[in-house]
Amino acid sequence: MLDGQKVSFSGVQPSGNLTIGNYLGAIKNFAEYSEKYKTFYGVVDEHAITVRQNPAELRRRTYETLALYIAVGLDPEKNTLYVQSHVPAHAELAWILNCYCMFGELSRMTQFKDKSARHADNINAGLFTYPVLMASDILLYQTDVVPIGSDQKQHVELTRNIADRFNQIFPDTFTVPEPVIPKSGGRIMSLAEPEKKMSKSDENENATVRVLDDRDTIIRKFRRAVTDSGSEIRRSPDKPGVSNLITIYSCFTGKTPEEVEAEFDGRGYAEFKTAVGEACADALAPVREKYFELLADKGYLEEVMKKGAGTAAYYARKTLSKVRRKIGFVNL
Ligand code: TYM
């Protein structure tokens, strides 16, 4: 809670072109809190450098991710939209919380295990302690809810453990946050290998649909999506490809998965895949249009960044100075 209001916090790394997984699992749900909650949505550039980034690209993607936040409907007047590295309190609290998080806990993080396997030549300490930075992001704003995809659940659980541990030693410091994962869309799978999560860093372009892909590309990618043997359009563990497409169609049209199965009963895969592509392209067309408009106005995006950083820093400082006082640092 901040100023008597509940708080929603989430973040997206500017580390690649965002996919419909990022959109359906997380970003689309951010706006739900805009009216009743205090909301903070960060472009988390400090997280992105845990793997090597091209500097010019990182900078460009930081603007792009902010533009996309606004394009999907997050009004900068109603939401604090900002860039993580503009608010130094994140890195400061992360150091402190590193001392309240156990090596063993971090060793159990599945994302660390996956990423260190994929980047075996660069298993840096930042990659290992990254969940502590994420805990700092969340705890700095006394967050109540964290809208995320299911792959981030373990990190929010760790955040809760860190908050509980700290609160036990220094009572009433942090709000203990709850993860909020959509029932449908919390884990969108790759179109090429439907046993794998759709990931923005996937090198196979046919595996991912980008929020900014044009209509023809979106429809082509869905037409090429891997489906399963048989021809029935229904959800089942032995039909991961079709199940994923049913989820995606359901998220974009607002129909339940049961309604989708009924709608396509007796119809073929080809027809279904085209329908999914069209539904996705229709839903994303206005986002794309708004995005390109915004990106043409860098000055405006910088104003949003500045205003967001000011608001975020104000609240972050409050929590940080409370923490500093409690642990015995001298506040001047
Ligand atoms: P990131 O940048 O990898 O992803 C951003 C959000 O998208 C969700 N997501 C998905 N949801 C459904 N299906 C998918 N295939 C899919 N892929 C990604 C993620 O779960 C995430 O919600 N560590 C975070 C960023 C972060 C953060 C935070 C999030 C930093 N600090 C504090 C919440 C709170 C990350 O790497 O997300």
CB of 29 within 6 A of ligand 1: the answer is no
Q: How far apart are CA 327 and CA 323, in angstroms?
A: 6
Say yes or no: 218 and 287 in one domain.
Answer: yes
Cα-based distances in Å from 327 to 97, 131, 167, 193, 330: 11, 21, 11, 48, 9
Can 298 be counted among the known catalytic residues? no
CB of 14 within 6 A of ligand 1: the answer is no
Give residue 228's pLDDT: 84
Domain assignment present for residue 244? The answer is: yes
Say yes or no: 127 and 15 in one domain.
Answer: yes
Give residue 80's pLDDT: 98
Ligand 1 probe mutation, 84, 109, 148, most atoms within 8 A of CB: 148
pLDDT per 10-residue tile (average), the chain, 332 residues: 96 94 96 95 97 95 97 97 98 98 96 89 94 98 98 98 98 98 96 95 93 96 92 92 97 96 94 97 97 96 98 98 97 85
pTM: 0.96
CB of 20 within 6 A of ligand 1: the answer is no
Q: How far is the CA of 327 from the centre of ligand 1 (A)?
A: 31
Question: Domain total for the chain?
Answer: 2
Domain assignment present for residue 332? The answer is: no
Give residue 126's pLDDT: 95
CB of 138 within 6 A of ligand 1: the answer is yes
Say yes or no: 54 and 118 in one domain.
Answer: yes
Taking the CA of residue 44 as reference, the ligand 1 atom at the shortest distance is: 30
Partnered with residue 199 across adjacent β-strands are none
Partnered with residue 8 across adjacent β-strands are 39, 145
Give residue 280's pLDDT: 98
Q: How far is the CA of 74 from the centre of ligand 1 (A)?
A: 17
Domain assignment present for residue 275? The answer is: yes
CB of 247 within 6 A of ligand 1: the answer is no
CB of 22 within 6 A of ligand 1: the answer is yes
Can 322 be counted among the known catalytic residues? no
Tokens of 79: 């939401």
Strands 145-147 and 178-180: parallel
Say yes or no: 21 and 120 in one domain.
Answer: yes
Can 306 be counted among the known catalytic residues? no
Domain residues for 280? 205-292
CB of 301 within 6 A of ligand 1: the answer is no
Q: Name the residue with the closest Cα to ligand 1, atom 26.
A: 11
CB of 188 within 6 A of ligand 1: the answer is yes
Domain assignment present for residue 187? The answer is: no
Give residue 157's pLDDT: 98
Q: How far is the CA of 164 from the centre of ligand 1 (A)?
A: 23
CATH number of the domain encompassing residue 69: 3.40.50.620
Q: How far is the CA of 291 from the centre of ligand 1 (A)?
A: 20
Which residue in the list 6, 78, 153, 200 is annotated as catalytic?
200
Say yes or no: 31 and 155 in one domain.
Answer: yes
